[in-house]
Amino acid sequence: MGCWSISMSDKEIAFLGYTAVIKERLLHFVRSLSTVLTFAYCLSSVIQQTHKFLSESTNPSETGNSASCALALNSYVVSLNSSQDMSRSTFK
């Protein structure tokens, strides 16, 4: 009797090639997204620690620039936290 041979058509081979390209692009996208989210998380942590340091070292009797800078930094940290919460809920 004979050997069993598997033959694929050109369309099947092309489909497998497209599938591999799609998987590779999806993997690249996920890696890039992971890198961006990690960087954003680390930056947020640095900003929070800076805010904590500045708020502890600022004397409440001081007025002017330091108070407005602390307020601006605080609002920025709050906006970063809300965007992180949204991204975490999206990818669960």
Render pLDDT for 60-76 as a digit per residue (tens, 0 to 9).
Answer: 555 555 556 666 667 76
Is the pTM higher than 0.75?
no
Q: Give me 84's structure tokens.
A: 């992180």
Amino acid at 91: F
Cα–Cα distance, 74 to 77 (Å, whole number): 5
Q: What is the mean pLDDT of the chain?
A: 76
Amino acid at 88: R
Q: Which residue has the higher pLDDT, 25 or 64?
A: 25
Q: To the nearest 5 percent, what fractions of the chain are helix, strand and coil?
A: 80, 0, 20
* Residues 84/44, Cβ–Cβ less than 8 Å: yes
pLDDT of 71? 65
Domain ranges of the chain: 22-90
